[in-house]
Amino acid sequence: MFGLLKKKDPGLNIIDKIWVIQEAKWKGCAEEIRSNSEIVFIAWFDETVQQLEEVFNKESLPTTNILIPRQTGSHILQNKKIVFIEHYPLRSKELTYFGQLNIPRAQIFSALDEPLFKQFGSDKIITMMKQLGMQKTESFENKMLSNAIKRAQEKIESKVSVDQSARSQTEWLSKNLQS
């Protein structure tokens, strides 16, 4: 009934910082590392790590702060700001990992042109954002869009019986959402 009786995620604050296009997201990551060298970027997929490493290499920025979950441990993340550079398609896997890290807040950088969001009509949102005068290079935080991401992840989760690993979001969606 209007979401009033829905169970909330206990004690975890997820903040989505969203760009219209991935290129702008990568530039946002570069700006973050320039302003705070004590930052660690975590990606769910190897391809995402490679993409951000390419951007950082072009800009002569360190790539040692770009990791995937299996490379992380409390000693590596201690006293670091953690930024996830994409959503995992399954919300439960994200929440489990956030719980393992014992973090009260998860900041996630996303772009509307990522494969995960294209599954749910992000092209319409991109068009609307452009009509509202938003530039491709601007980022935004919007609770309604964060809730839409959560619902999309839950919808995907309802269709997936086994989480098959993949090197990219595109490959993951192809392997796990076969009709």
CB neighbours (10 Å) of residue 132? 7
- Domain at 167, CATH number: 3.40.50.300
Into how many domains does the chain fold? 1
Distance, CA of 123 to CA of 60 (rounded, Å)? 33
138 inside domain: yes
**Which tokens belong to 107?**
């900041």
pLDDT in tens, 76-85: 788 889 999 9
pLDDT of residue 73: 74
Let me know: does 141 contact 16? Beta carbons within 8 Å: yes
Q: Which residues are 106's β-sheet partners?
A: 14
From first CA to last CA, the distance across the chain in angstroms is: 31
143 inside domain: yes
4 inside domain: no
pLDDT of residue 53: 97
3 inside domain: no
36 inside domain: yes
* Sequence-ordered list of residues with C-beta below 8 angstroms from that of 127, at least 6 positions apart, any chain: none
pLDDT of residue 10: 55
Q: What angle do CA 16, 40, 169 make, to 5 degrees?
A: 55
Ranges of the chain with pLDDT below 50? 1-9
Residue numbers of the domain that contains 125: 13-176
158 inside domain: yes
